[in-house]
Chains A and B, each alone.
Chain A
Amino acid sequence: MENVLDAKIPEGPLAEKWSKHKFGLKLVNPANKRKYDVIVVGSGLAGASAAASLAELGYNVKCFTFHDSPRRAHSIAAQGGINAAKNYQNDGDSVYRLFYDTIKGGDFRAREANVYRLAEVSVNIIDQCVAQGVPFAREYGGLLANRSFGGAQVSRTFYARGQTGQQLLLGAYSALSRQIAAGKVKMYTRTEMLDTVLVDGQARGIVTRNLVTGAIESHAAHAVLLCTGGYGNVFFLSTNAMNCNVTAAWRAHKRGAYFANPCFTQIHPTCIPVSGHYQSKLTLMSESLRNDGRIWVPKTKEDAELIRQGKKSPLDLKEDERDYFLERKYPSFGNLVPRDVGSRNAKYMCDEGRGVGSTGLAVYMDFSDAIKRDGESVISAKYGNLFEMYETITGENPYKVPMRIFPAVHYTMGGLWVDYNLMTTVPGLYALGEANFSDHGANRLGASALMQGLADGYFVIPYTLGDYLATIGPAKVTTDHPAFKQVEQEVSEHISKIMAINGTKTVDEIHRQLGLIMWDYCGMSRTAEGLEKARMEIQKLKNLFWTDLKVLGTHTEMNQTLEKAMRLWDFLELGALMVEDALTRNESCGGHFREEYQTPDGEAERNDDDFAFVSAWKWEGPDKTQTLVKENLQFENVKLSKRSYK
């Protein structure tokens, strides 16, 4: 068994790697492309862009989504924007700077070559989207507008009001729709992938459940692309859409795909705080707000206490009674520090007893200075829909009183391990978008997930997949192969087993408990002691799942409880792995903050000597400890430095 993974990073200088690599890849000639079938699971930015681009090239694509339409993928909810190194603002941006910011933002735990490629193709993404008719924000002169985002000192974020994800996804969806109409993509909606099928060690298809009829079906292809999004919902409460889940990636993991850096999760600093026990999800207030919103808490605990009791209003506090803690601690980045830094500091303020809101678990984001400076109409043009959303949810008007915000789980940097070609450790099985681990290291910078999803789908996989297909050749495997029957049977047995438990606990009850464990022990800050506790608690929950879960109805009909139950089981197994991963990483980096490893002033203390590697986990069987396999990270172009935003 190999103990070190080979990422197949091309030789040569950083800036030439991708061009050289593309030239060296084998091609499938145009007439032969129609002999190959490709399965794309997911129709978010990564899936829709990949499915459309591959179909345009001539491959036969089958695309799957559990949503009722490809346009409803979670990507639709992204608000703030997408980065690209266009340097339209002439403020010193470049491919190298975007690369550097992203590597540094990721706290030096990402692969240089991938991140450089990402920065390189970022410019093509904007061109492609504009050509599709994506209505990005523009200046009066008709050119594209930009704004700045956390972790960067240049303005390189392209946006479409507070609905960038929606507009980008609709662009990719339109390209996908065109290929569906052309007969090159066959779209399967309300269809959930439940397993991967391997034939002779290669991914050759998937097993799905038709969510309307419950039918279990097999689909064969020459390659399978998982573009199935992130797993933030392991925390139950997150900014992710309700149905986001890890099932596709997790089941692939159990078939041999290594899972990388599972404990690297991003907690976003600016979300609307929890209001009650019935809470079903958390709502993000886009990071772009930090361009104009100033974050503060009362200077004294006494004032904070009075505010919590409703005896004082934030408006009563004068300028010198407020602590703009990010501006104070990080003068050069101020409110635009990266997310992990912003979140952690909000937590510190609340831990100190200076939190606000009835629960004390909130800080203020204040727009009064920006409104004074630019006028309400300018602020409303930039953030109108976000302000409205805030008011709808909280019943408070952010033009008049500062927003209350608190960190919430938002994004998962971890995911299926992939090499430079986006292939997992299973030949023929690829992972794109948030589902892979590739580009964000230990912390993702704002506006870079949309960029990565579209880079993977539009500009990377169309090249790298061809190389693999040309290698294996067009001979087909059909779903009559016994491997498909075997997996179908295993999937059916798993379903029957869940249906037969007939206990007393609902799926949400167990999921909420899992979420609390993860938040308390594997969330914003972690300790070995806490993680060990979490390990035991999760084990108890797993037992509870199989002894006391209650799922009504049958599996041969639309059954949302069954869907959730299956996803919950995968979350339980994943949660356990996240805890192991966090326990073995004896350092603090990015979103992974181990209290034992911090500087005297409370900043994360990385340990590059011992931990400059990707942790990839290999499934060894249901009750076995997973094996840690490392990919050593080589930094040839950037100097590993202490990440400072001061």
Chain B
Amino acid sequence: MKLTLKIWRQKSTDTEGRLVDYVVDKISEDMSFLEMLDVLNEDLIKKGEDPVTFDHDCREGICGTCSLYINGRPHGPTRITTCQLHMRTFKDGETITIEPWRAKAFPVVKDLMVNRSSFDRIIQAGGYVSVNTGSARDANETPIGKEIADEAFNSATCIACGACVAACKNASAMLFVGAKISQLAMLPQGQPERKRRAEAMVAQMDAEGFGACSNTMACVAECPKSISMANIVSLNREYIGAKLTSNQV
């Protein structure tokens, strides 16, 4: 396959960026999208041109590091992570536009790499159960029905890639935040801090500059881990419930 790539190039956070055209040739269908970019980068280095910076690590859809906005969609045309996307999805001669996530809370570091530390700070605000090492009781003393465990698991599969934010016209992080809040709200372990958690995580989300939920479900449509709308519904419920009966004064 021969492809034209329009890639966002930006030297650093404070500089202006622009789309630059590149042509790659002899791309195999079995290559992953990132391997195609590796090929481009090898060519660029050989030619003495600065290779394209992009984030990636596990290349198997679990670490949440890869984050490319491909032809106007986070992670590209299918609902999997960029690293799992294979070139058989594209056609010979196609032009592919590759940009970084766009959101105020995700500033560009360089080229296609963004800073998602705002997600970490949201978790730090309350996305945990306060239990010190060594103070736990026997695991089977906390039975949890399989249905609930499975549902909590579904929420827990979020990989914090940020595709939800990139997909949303308001750059809202409700799906990400909702997934963590729902997971812990469903489990007995999460009960003691349930209200405090919802309030603190939402407050941090707002402080980071994420937008309000646009209710268009673009996030759900793009989430590579199929985190469902129920998580946003639950977030709203948890948050309103917490506010109404808040024990924070």
Distance, CA A504 to CA B48, complexed state (A): 9
Residue A560 lies at the interface, judged by CB distance under 8 Å to chain B: yes
User: What is the CB-to-nearest-CB distance from B61 to chain A, in angstroms, rounded to a whole number?
Assistant: 7
Q: Check: B140 CB closer than 8 A to any chain A CB.
A: yes
A395 at the interface (CB under 8 A from B): yes
Does B22 reach chain A (CB closer than 8 Å)?
Answer: no
* B positions within 8 Å CB-CB of A: 11-12, 28, 30-32, 34-35, 38-39, 42, 45-46, 48-51, 53, 55-65, 80, 84, 86, 88, 109-110, 113, 115-117, 119-120, 123-125, 127-140, 142-146, 149, 152-153, 156-157, 159-160, 183-184, 187, 189-190
CB distance from B29 to the nearest CB of A (A): 8
Q: Please state if A124 and B136 are interface contacts (CB–CB under 8 Å).
A: yes
A214-242: contact bitstring with B at CB < 8 Å (1 yes, 0 no)?
00000000000000000000000000011
Chain B residues, Cβ within 8 Å of A180: 120, 124
A70 to chain B, nearest CB (A): 7
Q: Are B50 and A552 in contact (CB under 8 A)?
A: yes
Residues on A with C-beta less than 8 A from B49 are 552
B residues in contact with A53, CB < 8 Å: 132-134
| Known contacts A56-B133, A557-B110; is-contact A189 B117 (Cβ 8 Å) | yes
A-B contact count (CB 8 A): 215
Provided the pairs A161-B153, A177-B123, A278-B28 are in contact, do residues A133 and B129 lie with their beta carbons within 8 angstroms?
Answer: yes
B145:A142 contact, CB within 8 angstroms: yes
Which residue of the partner chain B has the closest CB to A174?
B128
Least CB distance, B194 to chain A, in whole angstroms: 12
B129 and A130 form a contact (CB under 8 A)? no
Q: How distant is A596 from chain B, measured CB to nearest CB, in Å?
A: 37
The SS class assigned to the B binding surface is: loop
Residues of A within 8 A of B113 (CB): 558
Does A640 sit at the interface, judged by CB under 8 A? no
Give chain B nearest CB distance to A362 CB in angstroms: 14
Pairs A-B, 8 closest by C-beta atoms: A142-B143, A174-B128, A131-B136, A127-B136, A130-B139, A53-B133, A135-B153, A181-B124
Q: Are B109 and A558 neighbours in the complex by a CB distance under 8 Å?
A: yes
- Which chain A residue shows the least CB distance to B132? A56
Nearest CB in chain B: distance from A342 CB, A = 21
Query: Apart from A68-B115, A241-B58, A558-B110, what 7 extra A-B contacts exist at CB < 8 Å?
Result: A67-B57, A76-B64, A127-B139, A135-B152, A135-B156, A166-B62, A550-B46
Structural contact, A506 and B135, CB atoms closer than 8 A:
no
- Please determine whether A506 and B46 come into contact, CB atoms closer than 8 angstroms: yes
Contact mask for chain A residues 178-212; partner B; CB cutoff 8 A; 1 contact, 0 none: 10110000010100000000000000000000001
Residues of A within 8 A of B109 (CB): 212, 558
CA distance A71 to B28 in the complex (A): 32
Q: How far is the CA of A558 from the CA of B48 in the complex (A)?
A: 17
Once A127-B138, A133-B129, A177-B120 are accepted as A-B contacts, the answer to whether A77 and B62 lie under 8 Å apart by CB is yes
Q: Are A279 and B120 in contact (CB under 8 A)?
A: no
From known contacts A175-B128, A561-B51, infer whether A71 and B160 are also in contact, taking CB-CB under 8 Å. Answer: yes
Give 26 pairs: A residue, B residue, CB < 8 Å, sorted on A. A53-B132, A53-B134, A71-B160, A88-B140, A127-B138, A132-B128, A132-B131, A133-B152, A136-B149, A163-B62, A166-B62, A167-B156, A174-B123, A174-B127, A178-B124, A180-B120, A241-B59, A276-B30, A283-B59, A283-B60, A389-B84, A458-B134, A459-B133, A506-B46, A509-B42, A552-B49
Question: 1/0 contact trace for A117-149 toward B, CB 8 Å?
Answer: 000000010111111110111111111100000
B53 touching A558 by the CB < 8 A rule? Answer: yes
Are B30 and A242 closer than 8 Å at their CB atoms? Answer: no
Q: Are A280 and B34 also in contact (CB < 8 A) when A56-B132, A131-B131, A558-B53 are?
A: yes
User: Which residues of chain A have C-beta atoms less than 8 A from B143's C-beta?
Assistant: 138, 141-143
Name the residue of chain B whose CB is nearest to the CB of A244.
B57
A393 within 8 A of B: yes
Task: Note all chain A residues with C-beta closer than 8 A to B28.
Answer: 276, 278
Q: For A561, what are the chain B residues with a Cβ–Cβ distance below 8 Å?
A: 45, 51
With A74-B58, A135-B183 in contact, is A392–B133 under 8 Å at CB? no
In the bound complex, how far is the Cα of B144 from the Cα of A139, in angstroms? 9
Contact A560 B58 (CB under 8 A): no
Q: Are B149 and A138 in contact (CB under 8 A)?
A: yes
CB <8 Å contact, B57 and A72 = yes
Known: A76-B58, A281-B59. A130 touches B31 (CB 8 A): no
Closest residue of chain A to B64 (Cβ to Cβ) is: A72
Closest beta carbon of chain B to A28's beta carbon, Å: 16
